[in-house]
Amino acid sequence: MCGICGKINFNNEPIDEIILKKMTSSLSHRGPDDEGIYIKNNIGLGHRRLSIIDLSPFAHQPMSNEDETIWIVFNGEIYNFLELRKDLIGRGHLFRSRSDTETILHLYEDYGTECLRYLRGMFAFAIWDEKVQSLFLARDRIGKKPLYYLHSSDTFCFASEIKSILQDKTFEKIPDFTAIHHYLTYQDVPSPWTAFKNIKKLPPSHYLIYKNGKVTIKRYWKISYLPKHTMPVNELKKEILERLKEAVRIRLISDVPLGAFLSGGIDSSAVVAMMSEVMNKPVKTFSIGFKEDTYNELKYAQVIAKKFRTEHTEFIIEPKALDIIDKLIWHYNEPFADSSAIPTYYVSKLAREHVTVILNGDGGDENFAGYGRYVANQISIWMHKILPSSIAKLILPVISLMPHGKTPNNFFWRLKRFLGEYIKSPEMRNAHWLCHFTSDMKKELYTDDFFRQVSSTDSFDLIFNKYREAEANSFLDKTLYADVMMYLPDDLLVKVDIASMANSLEARSPFLDHEFMEFVARIPSDLKLNGSITKYILKETLKGILPDELLYREKMGFGVPIDHWFRNELRDMAYDIILSEKAISRGYFKKETIKRILDEHMSNKWNWHNHIWNLLMLELWHRMFIDI
């Protein structure tokens, strides 16, 4: 894995080598093994390398073709590069290295932008074509590798991380209010926005062409949930297993040590099971736990480690883990409120002490319908047949009076949230269960001035648009598509990429193999969510491979006990920072609303931990990136 960056100056102004080197060096955590730059007149490319395949100097980047008219910087892994390489050699291409980077370069020579349809893997790359004076940027289908860009009146910049673009001190750092508005809803800044005005994300499955001062962005891939497979269930199960094995096998190509994250859930356990079958030595596995039993899955990880005889390593996270909070703010570049970034960072740090490449179970929930909100929505649809919304409205005030415990897993807390969304449309219910601040909450939270600036944009329109564009018939498949297009690339994959790359660790995701995803998408939706059983067809496939106690236990998720921490160790921190004069003076939020949120959480009147974390991350981001 690597870090890439580049810059084109307009009006033929030469590239400042010092700035380009600063842009490149700011990505050193993504690539500690090597550094390279290429400059020719008004074009500059930079690369930081984490050596995974072909550790020799021949794989150095930026890399050119034979006559040095085409240059590439590449971040990622192409898992089918050996078969592509064989075909290219047959077509007369000469190779100087064993790297997958050179394969992309020669594919581009033959196919131009169409080279993307041949690539199987995770990638973000830039190709400068001297002959036609164009820059070609591309990002993988699912969005595993990030790519940001800035197009101003005098320059075009791109990089793997925003902090690289910020090395040019002529850029004015201004918060994007619309991006912040969306962040408060989604806990991340959704593509194509960033938290910085004028810096954008290249969306997943898109490519960008810069030529003659103009930028053109096109989509090259879209997952379809139609037509549905008609093969018998037993054949489906065999096909799922074989395709998953293959997705794991091709991700074991590496010239450095590799291992696996093991949460104790179905997806990571399935990956470890497949690795154990394919590898000729024990799998190195890594797990994170908490002292709070409600959040601790270590006992399940230990069951899998024992069953497959892995070399297992564990780490317990305590509230003092938040000593790294400033480090996380710096690495994530934008406000990012998924608190599971904390254990993801620590498990990455733990793994990097032993391996350089890690496999994980990301994508299993989005492929096979693993989240509890899918079940909740299905139950709500069933219940509407016997319980009209008018009756539910009468029940809710009574239920609201019942104590709901101090954790988000409490039955009455879940019941309150369920009934609170019961009268809404299925799409809105899913959006509310997924998100942090709803539209009504924002009206209470925002100052009049901030509300006027952003109220013309409804953040929920972003996810509703995904429902409308989905190539699917069932509500469940449309929801899965929305998650694949938004929650997965904007939250989960950002979380893993940044946390792993902060520790110079490459993360690979077999469940996110695009060929595997295309096959699974066409499985009938009632085989994914069967009644109230999530991941039904995957669980049936893994029977006899994984223990039943793991397959059929309630999903826990990679949660963090911030609800408890905010009522105890982090109480003062929360009040001091998000109620500070500095925070309130930004003009976003009403002080009395923030205080009410804090007070209600501390008194256990309501569980506001996610919203408090969201506000805290936003304020700390301002202090680190905007105020300085």
Each residue's pLDDT tens digit, 12-68: 899 999 999 999 999 999 999 889 999 999 999 999 988 776 676 777 899 999 899
* CA-closest candidate to residue 38, choices 29, 47, 30: 47
**CA–CA gap between residue 601 and residue 606 (Å, rounded):** 5
Q: Provide the CA 609 distance to its chain's centre, in angstroms.
A: 21
CB-CB contact of 364 with 538 (8 Å)? yes
Question: In this structure, what token pair is assigned to residue 603?
Answer: 């008194």
Q: 143 with 195, same domain?
A: yes
**CA–CA gap between residue 382 and residue 473 (Å, rounded):** 18
Domain final residue pick, 171, 189, 219: 219
Q: 289 with 356, same domain?
A: yes
Q: Which residues face 493 on adjacent strands?
A: none
Q: Which residues contact 246 (CB under 8 A, 6 or more apart)?
A: none
Q: Which of 2, 5, 115, 435 is catalytic?
A: 2
Q: Which range marks the domain in which residue 383 is found? A: 224-560
pLDDT digits (tens, 9 = 90+) for 453-479: 999 999 999 999 999 999 999 999 999
Domain final residue pick, 560, 586, 606: 560
Q: 301 with 431, same domain?
A: yes
Q: 110 with 229, same domain?
A: no
Regarding predicted confidence, which is higher, 417 or 268? Answer: 268
Is 309 among the domain residues?
yes
Q: 193 with 310, same domain?
A: no
Is 79 among the domain residues?
yes
Instruction: Judge whether 157 counts as a catalytic residue.
Output: no
Q: Which residues face 49 on adjacent strands?
A: 2, 34
Inter-axis angle of helices 591-602 and 571-578, to 10 degrees?
Answer: 170
Is 604 among the domain residues?
no
Q: 490 with 467, same domain?
A: yes
Is 586 among the domain residues?
no
pLDDT of residue 525 exceeding 70, the answer is: yes
Q: Provide the CA 308 distance to its chain's centre, in angstroms.
A: 28
* CA-closest candidate to residue 77, choices 97, 51, 95, 96: 51
**CA–CA gap between residue 194 and residue 213 (Å, rounded):** 22
pLDDT of residue 87 exceeding 80, the answer is: yes
CATH number, position 472: 3.40.50.620
Q: 146 with 273, same domain?
A: no
Q: 489 with 361, same domain?
A: yes
Burial-class residue 234 by CB neighbours within 10 Å (0-12, 13-18, 19+): exposed
Span 142-163, mean pLDDT?
97
Residue 409: band (very low, low, confident or very high) from pLDDT cuts 50, 70, 90: low
Q: 263 with 279, same domain?
A: yes
Is 528 among the domain residues?
yes
Question: In this structure, what token pair is assigned to residue 624?
Answer: 């680190």
Q: What is the pLDDT of residue 470?
A: 98
Q: 166 with 237, same domain?
A: no
Is 618 among the domain residues?
no
Is 588 among the domain residues?
no
**CA–CA gap between residue 600 and residue 336 (Å, rounded):** 23
Q: Which residue has the tokens 């395709």?
A: 243
Q: What percent of the chain has pLDDT over 70?
A: 93
Domain total of the chain: 2
Q: 338 with 201, same domain?
A: no
Domain final residue pick, 219, 242, 270: 219
Q: What is the pLDDT of residue 413?
A: 59
Q: What percent of the chain has pLDDT over 90?
A: 78
Q: 472 with 548, same domain?
A: yes
CATH number, position 105: 3.60.20.10
Is 389 among the domain residues?
yes
Q: Indicate the pTM of the whole model.
A: 0.94
pLDDT digits (tens, 9 = 90+) for 292-338: 777 778 999 999 999 999 999 998 887 666 788 999 999 999 999 99
